[in-house]
Structure 1
Amino acid sequence: MSEQEIRVPELGGAESVEIVGVLVSVGDSVEAEDPLLELESDKATVEMPAPAAGKITRLDVNEGDSLKEGDLVGMMETAEAGASGDSDQSEGDEESVGASPARDETQEADAATDSQSGDTASEAPGTSGGEQAIQVPELGGAESVEIVGVLVSVGDSVNAEDPLLELESDKATVEMPSPATGKITRLDVKEGDTLKEGDVVGMLEVSGGGAQASSEQTSTGKKEQADSVGASPARDDAQQTQGTTSSTAAKPETPETPSGKRVHAGPAVRRIAREFGADLQQVQGSGPKGRILKDDVQAWVRKQLQSGSSAPAGGGAGIPEVPLPDFSQFGEVERQSMTKIQRLTAQGMHRSWLNVPHVTQFEKADITDLEAFRKDHKAEGEKRGVKMTLLPFLMKACAHALATYPQFNVSLDMANQQIIQKHYCHIGIAVDTPNGLVVPVIRDVDRKSIWQLAEEAQELAGKARDRKLTNNDMSGACFTITSLGGIGGTAFTPIVNSPEVAILGASKAAMEPVWDGAQFQPRLMLPLSLSYDHRAINGADAARFTTLLSKTLGDLRELVM
């Protein structure tokens, strides 16, 4: 047995790295290449492997320490065989921490000597007459990787270590380097293909002394390539998006924010962030020196869901961004800024659509008698200065249905696993304005007369079009009505105005033949569309709700029963 120093290998150009994870303790037995430390540079988070098999006898570093190339981090007890191979092993280690470092001439010479004097199996597979097969190196434990970017074409000249493919495993997106200098003569893969260790992706015509170099690369650098592809370097966002446009569209990455703040997080945490669509730039780390832990990501996601914060413009929520083409190539275009109402409406609709499991129940109400009643009171409405429309009757019928089926007058508090039952009846009415859609609220609908509701609806609609609505005018609704009757259509599926659990849509009424038991009669039928949150309301209750609405609108006497 012999003692061996554990030192920081070559850092691939980085001046220093920070320890963000100590993965072993004194007394632990490790194999060669087992990860000892998790190091973070300004470009990546990677693991520092053990230089040989043995037992850790001393550790001189802690999480949060800064290290430079060659720094002593501890000691290990190794077997004699392991000690004799330390020189060769250290060459492989250097590329495992540094991202594609260029080894110096002395190291190249040593590797060549080892390759010639070592086992004959070090010849590159597929090497014949200056041609070499380009194979997927060891994947560091990953079963397979997906090609998310092809960075070269047939005929391209490349240098050793130049990136050929951009590969994505479940831990990281990394580049697969060229095994030697030469020209690409064949490519057998394309973006989206899945590869395994050892798969041939193409052929390379090795230039000059490349045949010897490729042999050398295979014998001493196979492990180096494995670490380059299969370790877990969580590169920063800029590096991840450095490939082709199509590779960016192929995976939903956490969007880059303009803050440019350095993120301290390990590969596992970054993977969780990608799954949740969390922006690590916005997550506050609770670990040493602000390092982001898994719990921090989960807490951030919970907070976003509870606060209803919208996702960043570039994506989020794990949903891939829709790529926009250059529309000017098809014709003349003009860009206009969204109004504040349009922005808020888009955010609210998107939030509701993502969070609410929508179901829509359709029904028709016979409003023949109601329409005659409304027209009979048209003259009185003119005297009052109020336009009598169908809307106040809809509001009154909805208030009656909400009282009968109170499960429609609730909100869900999913964070606390509670249902909030409301004992008031405020109804929002969607108003279309030149600046966008707004929803003023009429309070205590159940306590007001049809005339009061008509007057208040007219007043709020006027304020909406004049952009004079206050926050108080648009808050507190427990149910919403949206009507397209003045425009047209036979049915639609309105989006629930969360945290409400239901919304009623009314389309254009039309005369239809209705069977009365003896013959068909022409009746004025109003299409109704009730969208509801299926977490709070089941289908049977929705059918009962719309049936009661239809019955009430068909016979106003139901309101006094």
Structure 2
Amino acid sequence: MGEHIIKLPDVGEGVAEAELVEWHVKIGDIVREDMVLAAVMTDKATVEIPSPVDGEILWLGAEIGDTVAIGSPIVRLKVAGEGNVRQQGGAVASEPPVKLPTPKPETAAPAAKIPPAAAAAAAEVKPAPPASKSTGVSVSGAPRPEGEKPLASPAVRLRAKEAGIDLRQVAGSGPAGRIGHEDIEAFLARGPQVAKASGLTRNDAVEDIKVIGLRRKIAEKMTLSKSRIPHITYVEEIDVTALEELRAVLNKEKRQASGGGERPKLTLLPFLMRAMVKAIADQPQLNSLFDDEAGIIHQHGGIHIGIAAQTPSGLVVPVVKHAEARDIWDCGAEVARLAEAAKSGTATRDELSGSTITITSLGAMGGVATTPVINHPEVAIIGVNKMMVRPVWDGTQFIPRKMMNLSSSFDHRVIDGWEAAVFIQRIKALLETPALIFVD
């Protein structure tokens, strides 16, 4: 039998380390070749680490949440044959021996030596008899049956009144359940319970949850964005009645896509994406990344729109690359494909990176207005709020219209308030007259 060391492999170009987010095995497990041992995360992409050999787990080199350098040992296996770790004095190993900590076996602590005098003294001490139910102070705090009047002296009743205690909730330790001062003190020491009529009890539990994986990545990114970018948020109301009517008509048509198959069902997002492309053509500075350390604004020609998506693991941002070269149906198909990949956890690092401007939407839960956080190092983010039917004055009467707010944030170091307003007003005009979106 030999030992085989598994090191953290290269999980992506330019990646020097990764965070361990999940173990699929434990010490003592028997694993087979290609069985998944662990999962690591970098740049919001999760990578599974398989076993290259059969063997038994002897050692695990990191804990959940640890950052592990590429090439570091993470698993040691006992395998048939020599393995890839040679003993000293053997043949030349294919790689230098790796010194790994060996788990210490759990052993019983040796009995402490007690001096003879102390042992003799301890022998004289006899255990105290259990407290009598009639004399011991009860801490159960069980409330009395309905209508039963608690027994207590006037002094005890005054003490309870001053402390805000309902004596019906205090168990008495005196004869016939009489409540004494010691019972009041015991009740205060453990904390008063809520009256039995409500059926509620206090919960003082505190659970410590380690921030790991995607949640830690999100926390780091949000901290970076809010600490470095001075946000300005602009909220505008959009009448999407005509857009919704056009969308319903287009979705009823069963037409083939250019690549074969039926065209995808259109949501609001493809229309917004095409409107953003047209607005960015007039204001290309909105499609930029700001390197604040170098003091350089990288203004991109390609419009790569990130779509913030909620997944079971947390928020991720898959990216629709080159939206300027996609028509409305192509945008819709790509959004649907990326959303499914993000939710299933199969999105690649390339699909989750490279955005130049982002859309965030909470769908039906979008609220009336939000204050989106810019996806650093971008300079703008467009927030979609929920659609609602509201009465709108048309000059002679109130009529029902489908209204929606856009809540958008901008990097005020790069984008002035006037520029932000012009950008959103251009998008508003396109969405309210959706035929313009199709005019080149």
Q: What is the TM-score of this pair, normalised by structure 2? A: 0.51
- RMSD of aligned alpha carbons: 1.8
Tell me if structure 1 keeps the 8 A contact 2:366–2:384.
no
Is 1:368 the counterpart of 2:241? The answer is: yes
Taking the aligned partners of 1:416 and 1:385, their CA distance within structure 2 comes to: 44
8 Å contact 2:277–2:323 — kept in the other structure?
yes
Residue 495 of structure 1: CA displacement?
Answer: 0.2
Ranges in structure 2 where 5+ consecutive residues have no aligned partner: 1-201, 256-260
- Of residues 512, 530, 545, the one that matches 2:390 is 512
Following TM superposition, by how much is the alpha carbon of 1:394 offset from its aligned partner in structure 2, in angstroms? 1.1
1:366-413: CA deviations, max 9, x gaps?
110110111122234698273321111111111111111112112223
Look up the equivalent residue of 1:335 and give its one-letter code.
D
Q: Is the 8 A contact 2:364 2:387 kept in 1?
A: no
Query: Which residue number corresponds to residue 349 of structure 1?
Result: 222
1:388 aligns with 2:266: yes
Tell me the secondary structure at the aligned position of residue 509 of structure 1: strand
Q: Secondary structure at the match of 2:364?
A: coil
Question: 1:348: Cα distance to partner?
Answer: 0.2
Structure 1 counterpart SS, 2:365: coil
Tell me whether 1:539 sits opposite 2:417 in the alignment: yes
Give 1 or 2: higher helix fraction. Answer: 1
- Give the drift of 1:531: 0.3
> d(CA) in 2 for partners of 1:338 and 1:402?
37
Distance 1:381 1:534, change over 3 A: farther
Match of 2:139 in 1: none
1:456 equivalent among 330, 334, 340 = 334
Task: Provide the residue aligned with 1:377 in structure 2.
Answer: 250
* CA distance, structure 2, for counterparts of residue 339 and residue 397 of structure 1: 37
Q: Is contact 1:509–1:525 with CA below 8 Å preserved after alignment?
A: yes
Partner of 1:499: 377
| 380 and 333 in structure 1: CA distance in 2 versus 1, 3 angstrom threshold | farther
Q: Give the CA deviation at 1:330.
A: 5.3
Displacement of 1:516: 2.1
- For 1:362, give the aligned amino acid: V
Q: CA deviation at 1:486?
A: 2.4
Task: Summarize the alignment of residues 141-220 of structure 1 with structure 2, pairs less than 5 Å apart.
Answer: none
Alignment of 1:49-60 (within 5 A): none
The separation in 2 between residues aligned to 1:479 and 1:439, in whole angstroms, is: 11
* SS of residue paired to 2:294: coil
Q: How does 1:96-495 map to 2 (within 5 A)?
A: 331-380=204-253, 384=262, 386-495=264-373
Alpha-carbon distance change, 379 to 422 in structure 1, aligned in 2, over 3 angstroms = same
- Hey, what's the Cα distance between the residues in 2 that align with 1:432 and 1:549? 25
- Contact kept in structure 1, 2:237 and 2:404, CA below 8 Å: yes
- Cross-structure match for 1:24: none
| Contact persistence 1:381–1:388 (CA under 8 A) | no
TM-score normalised according to structure 1 size: 0.40
In 2, Cα distance between equivalents of 1:345 and 1:417: 25
Distance 2:372 2:433 in 1: 26
Counterpart Cα distance in 2 of 1:432 and 1:360: 22
Contact kept, 8 Å, 1:387 with 1:458, in 2: the verdict is no
The offset of 1:416, in angstroms, is: 3.2
Distance 1:337 1:413 in 2: 31
Distance 2:352 2:253 in 1: 29
Structure 1 residue runs without a partner (length 5+): 1-328
Tell me: higher relative CO, structure 1 or 2? Use CA pairs within 8 A at least 6 residues apart: 2
1:86-114 deviations in whole A, cap 9, x for unaligned? xxxxxxxxxxxxxxxxxxxxxxxxxxxxx
**Aligned residue type for 2:296:** Q
Residue 530 in 1 paired to residue 384 in 2? no
Count of matched residue positions in the alignment of Structure 1 and Structure 2 = 233
Partner Cα separation in structure 1 for residue 242 and residue 344 of structure 2: 35
CA gap 1:357/1:365 in 2 versus in 1, 3 angstroms: same
1:481 counterpart SS class: strand
Cα deviation, residue 337, structure 1: 3.5
Residue 339 (structure 1) shift? 4.3
